[in-house]
Amino acid sequence: MEPHMKLNEETIKSPSSKRLINKVAVITGGARGIGAATAKLFAENGAHVVIADVLDDLGASLAESIAGRFIHCDVSKEQDVESAINLALSWKGQLDIMFNNAGIAGVDGSITSLDMEHVRSAACELGVHLIRVNSISPHGVPSEMLLSAFKRFGREISPQELGEYIGKNASLLKGKGSTAEDVAHAALFLACDESSFITAHTLRVDGGYTSAFSHMSFIYQDLK
Ligand SMILES: NC(=O)c1ccc[n+]([C@@H]2O[C@H](COP(=O)([O-])OP(=O)(O)OC[C@H]3O[C@@H](n4cnc5c(N)ncnc54)[C@H](O)[C@@H]3O)[C@@H](O)[C@H]2O)c1
């Protein structure tokens, strides 16, 4: 084996630490929460970002702040999703990253019962084109979605209180709750070339919690 090359200043300092230089990304549900945190992080890393969401004002102002583009898109309408992709193509002539983040809350169920077969079969089909398909399973991010879920269970709680509650009661990393930025960093890793041999993978961003407990409904019920 060759001895390890000695690192010098030039080797250590890469010309740019940006990990998505000139990549073009579409982020559905990018107007707020996890999608918005990801849009900012992708843009900071050199990506051109199209935000596709039903929240026009929020989405448009975020897009402007990151020199991206916004398009009104309801992901339940195939035509809307097609238009978002077409916007990326007409804007920059390519689409490198599709972050299918838009979604609505389900209040219960096991993370292990999610249909990961879709990810696996898409990865099998698209691998021949060198397209990677991965998914992220977040947990306990104090977003509007989770706050509304708590509200439906009659609990009014601030994002900060919710973060502290998750850190205390629903994380193996005691005191560390989940943030949208934690999920955004996972998305950045899966989107960039450093994960180029990773496909058909589900990355849990959950403080280890769902490995220990598969049902989440109790977190809404025993808020102390
Ligand atoms: N917050 C969590 O802990 C958590 C846990 C598991 C999964 N998730 C998933 O993460 C994703 C992001 O959720 P979040 O927590 O950031 O919530 P959020 O409510 O802050 O953000 C959701 C975004 O999706 C958009 N959206 C909703 N329906 C849409 C539609 N039909 N078309 C286009 N956009 C639509 C909303 O306008 C919003 O901008 C969702 O798919 C959610 O199911 C979140």
Query: Can you list the domains of the chain with their CATH numbers?
Result: 20-103 (3.40.50.720), 106-224 (3.40.50.720)
Name residue 53's beta-bridge partners: 72
Choice from 115, 135, 141, 214 to test ligand 1 binding pocket (greatest atom count within 8 A of CB) = 141
CA of 31 to the centre of ligand 1 (A): 9
Residue type, 88: A
For residues 12 and 9, what is the distance between their CA atoms, to the nearest angstrom? 5
Pocket of ligand 1 (CB under 6 A): 28-29, 31-35, 53-55, 73-76, 101-105, 138-141, 143-146
- What is the pLDDT, as a whole number, of residue 21? 97
Q: What is the pTM of this model?
A: 0.91
93 or 117: which carries more pLDDT confidence?
A: 93
Q: Are 26 and 50 in contact (CB under 8 A)?
A: yes
For residues 3 and 207, what is the distance between their CA atoms, to the nearest angstrom? 38
CA of 30 to the centre of ligand 1 (A): 8
- What is the pLDDT, as a whole number, of residue 111? 47
Atom of ligand 1 nearest to the CA of 142: 1
- What is the pLDDT, as a whole number, of residue 220? 60
The total of other beta-carbon atoms located within 10 Å of residue 15's CB is 7
54 or 11: which carries more pLDDT confidence?
A: 54
| 110-166: pLDDT as tens digits | 444 556 888 999 999 999 999 999 999 999 999 999 999 989 988 899 999 999 999
The pLDDT-based confidence of 104 (bands split at 50, 70, 90) is confident
Q: Are 83 and 73 in contact (CB under 8 A)?
A: yes
The residue whose CA has the least distance to atom 19 of ligand 1 is 145
